[in-house]
Amino acid sequence: MAQVSIYFNFNGNAEEAFNFYKRVFKSEFSTPLRRMKDIPAQPGMPELTKTEENKIMHVALPILGGTEIMATDVLESMGHKLIEGNNISISLTPDTKEETDRLFNELSESGTDCVAPHDEFWGYWGTCKDRFGIRWMFNLASQDPNQ
């Protein structure tokens, strides 16, 4: 079923923040905490320090009214830098690749910072900042039960 989530980027304290939100919303994580060390080796990926290995790659928490918040820690060693304005994205989880592509194509028209949807180890993913400065992510979970 299609879903909309709010995605946060943190500067190394995603786990602390989400444990706080978990307490506030009296909720449980909807997926296991995934750490940076859980990422399969990717071509050109820098080696992570021991500290970076334990940072959060992905966490998800249901809050109110079917809304889910998600997050990651931004690592400068991976070429990312957290600045105000790139710390929140609206994450869309359509039902099909076709709908994912349609939404990306329309929202990215005249946009910037675009990465077209493509296969990643967790599924089909892309991102863009639309012409109004809003960041969107597109996620279609892998249908492979081994992922």
Helix (H, G, I), strand (E, B) or coil at 118: strand
Q: How many other CB atoms sit within 10 Å of the CB of residue 57?
A: 18
Task: Summarize pLDDT for 50-86 with one digit per residue, the tens.
Answer: 998 999 999 999 987 889 999 999 887 777 777 766 6
Task: List the domain boundaries for the chain.
Answer: 1-39+47-87, 94-147
> What's the CATH code, domain 1-39+47-87?
3.10.180.10
Using one digit for the tens of pLDDT, what is the confidence trace for 26-36?
A: 999 998 899 99
Structural tokens at position 101: 């592509």
55 with 12: CB under 8 angstroms?
yes
Q: What is the topology classification, in CATH, of domain 94-147?
A: 3.30.720
